[in-house]
Amino acid sequence: MSKAYGIILVNLGTPDAPTAEAIEEYLQEFLSDRHVVQLPAWLWQPLLKYMILPKRSQRLVDSYEMIWREDDSPLRSYMQALSAKLEFEMQHDNEEEDCRVVMAMRYGKPALQDAYEELEDAVDEIIVIPLYPQYSMTTTLTVTEKVNELGWQKPVKFIESYHNRPSYIDALALTVSPMIKEHPDTLLVMSFHGLPQKVTKMGDPYEAQCHETAKLLAEKLNLTDEQWRISFQSRFGLQKWLQPYTCDLLTALPKKGIKKVLVVCPGFSVECLETLEEIKVQNKEMFLAAGGESFEYIPALNDTPEHVAMLKDMLHSVHNN
């Protein structure tokens, strides 16, 4: 008798609604993770509760309202669609094996435990895929640790990084290549989420993996060194983060005569606030205000056939090992 497999696709998280109350609830869980903010709780929690959450939650309302879809947040909507499409493809490929695919958020809903309970009675084994292509203790590690903490009874396997996997690079190239053909002589900016520099110094491989992803994608697209740049976005707080900062790079480019850019965010598997509002709106405005003439954002992989094919490739490799 063949096994029944459960697959949990995990992303960072989203508020339940574009309201100050929902945003504060989400940020409270997210920013209380010791891997995300590496400060002593006695120092950080009072700052978070009384200073950061009230101000930041209210300030983000307009941003979330701007990107919110009619039914839900873009992140949760795309994750649900991706899960459904992957399940269909996996079952279609091998009708002898039962395969269920659900999605979960590390912070917010649906929680990891909710996803597990949805699968528990129907599967023999679970495969967890944190949809962070580049490994970091601030993202991937928090998922694996949370799963281990929950003590699930079913056997669990993890796919923890795929930053240099050929099928991932191929999927990115298939989304970027048409835009390069449509906009020739345009600089490609690959913007990854930033991290405090001290995290890299602690041994986190994230920065190195971002650079490897960018290099492999540039090679796949046959770009010269002059045709692309790497940068890091979403800096928060006063400490030094990975550089160059995306906002600084984009405002500096027009002064150097580079006035047309394509921007892709290879570290984001699915659209979220950081891509749809920070990059597509804020950074575009900065670039044009600095003298830029053309700014095109290349969407994330989302629920595209390329993303589904890449995930299938990874899952087949897990089956074969």
Binding site members: 193, 274
Angle at the Cα of 232 from the Cα atoms of 208 and 277, rounded to 5 degrees? 140
Nearest to 81 by CA among 312, 310, 301: 301
* Residues in contact with 135: Cβ distance below 8 Å, sequence separation at least 6, in sequence order: 141, 160, 161, 163, 205, 206, 209
Q: Could you give the CA distance from residue 300 to residue 270 in angstroms, rounded to a whole number?
A: 5
Nearest to 12 by CA among 236, 197, 270, 263: 270
Per-residue b/e over 48-71, b at no fewer than 16 CB within 10 Å? beeebbeebbeebbebbeebbeee
Task: Give the residue ranges of the annotated binding site for Fe(2+).
Answer: 193, 274
Nearest to 4 by CA among 117, 105, 110, 90: 90
Taking the alpha carbons of 124, 129, 135, 136 in that order, is the dihedral positive or negative? negative
